[in-house]
Chains A and B, each alone.
Chain A
């Protein structure tokens, strides 16, 4: 590890130009994504306009998994190397991941009622994503339940690492077991089974979600770093 690249002061320095760039890209992607998904995208041959929920739901699910992977990696760094920047990034990412997971569950449920005929079933995919939400919740609860934040963070990081096992289960659930949820459309061996006019808005929305994550992550991490600095200064008085 190149330690000087992971110094909090270096992070604060490089994010100063990075933050507006990320915010700008987020805005562009959101405008393009919303325009293509609501206006130019055709309705589905079977689901009609209800299919547009997919443009909100699928990227949210991807990001829910991606952010959890990021959280686990940062937890690993902070457990092994006790690195302050990894700690800050983990804490900053967790609530954003929980938000994506909740969004995925809510929009999926709203899509399920007209398409499947039910808001919720206890199939392997839906249940494993609900567990992911509980993992995010458990992470935050553990982190906050100690009087000393560093102890809470250590316990929470261990939980985050244990929960990594849920990621392949979520991804594999629709392939390994019979589920009501449909299998993946994009990562099929035979190529994506989604028409290009619908794939474009989907990927644009995924870009928008990604830059939303990056923007909010930087904002939250800078705030956390500054709070820590303040606390050190307070204690030196």
Chain B
């Protein structure tokens, strides 16, 4: 075997090893790599009321209420609904039906006290007229 073939083989085997080990590490740490839990994830987990976590879901339409400084809304993953209370400034993209990620504490199994709220943008980009037309034609949900 020529030296260059040896090097080729050596590098190939080393890369394969790195690939397999990275895959194993990522699989093992899957739990810790998620940025947020969905409301359904929470039902299968024991989360203490003092543990700071992030949850993500869609803001349930017609659920946003504001009383003074405090904002109440519900988020859902189309399976389970979770009440969220928040006291602070909302990002511009926050609206009903929008995906959001909230960081805070799960005070009760069905009540989340948020300290920060981030809006999660989806991957759709379109001009306002197109969005209007999709809504008129009732195709809005097919578009997302």
Seen from chain A, the residues whose Cβ lies within 8 Å of a Cβ on chain B are 42-47, 51, 54, 76, 79-82, 114-118, 121-124, 161-162, 164-165, 169, 176-180, 182-185, 188, 193-195, 197-198
Interface assignment of B26: CB less than 8 Å from any CB of chain A: yes
With A42-B128, A45-B127, A76-B11 in contact, is A115–B92 under 8 Å at CB? yes
- Tell me whether A180 and B92 are in contact in the complex, defined as CB-CB below 8 angstroms, given that A42-B127, A117-B117, A198-B125 are known contacts: no
Q: Chain B interface mostly helix, strand, loop or mixed? A: mixed
Asked if B125 and A194 sit within 8 Å, CB to CB, the answer is yes
The 9 closest A-B pairs by CB, nearest first: A117-B91, A42-B127, A45-B131, A123-B35, A195-B126, A185-B123, A45-B128, A194-B125, A178-B34
Given that A76-B11, A179-B35, A180-B35 are contacting pairs, would A118 and B124 also be in contact in the complex, using a CB cutoff of 8 Å? no
Measured CA separation A49–B117 after assembly (Å): 22
Q: For chain B, which range describes its interface: under 10, 10 to 19, 20 to 34, or 35 or more residues?
A: 35 or more
Contact flag A47-B93 (CB < 8 Å), given A118-B118, A121-B118, A124-B35: yes
Q: Does B36 contact A (CB under 8 A)?
A: yes
B residues 10-40 touching A (CB-CB < 8 Å): 11, 14-15, 18-19, 22, 26, 30, 33-38
Q: Contact check, B11 vs A79: say whether CB atoms are below 8 A apart.
A: yes
Residues of A within 8 A of B90 (CB): 117
Bound Cα distance from A124 to B30, whole angstroms: 11
B101 at interface, CB cutoff 8 A = yes
Decide if A193 touches B143 in the complex (CB within 8 Å): yes
Determine whether the beta carbon of A184 is less than 8 Å from that of B123. Answer: yes
- Report A-chain residues with C-beta under 8 Å of the C-beta of B7: 79-80
Chain A residues, Cβ within 8 Å of B91: 114-117
Bound CA span A54–B90, Å: 22
A114-B92, A116-B118 are contacts. A185–B35 as well, Cβ < 8 Å? no
Q: Are B126 and A194 in contact (CB under 8 A)?
A: yes
Candidates B18, B26, B89, B116; contact of A162 at CB < 8 Å:
B18
Contact partners of A164 in chain B: CB under 8 A: 15
Whether B120 contacts A188 by the Cβ 8 Å rule is no
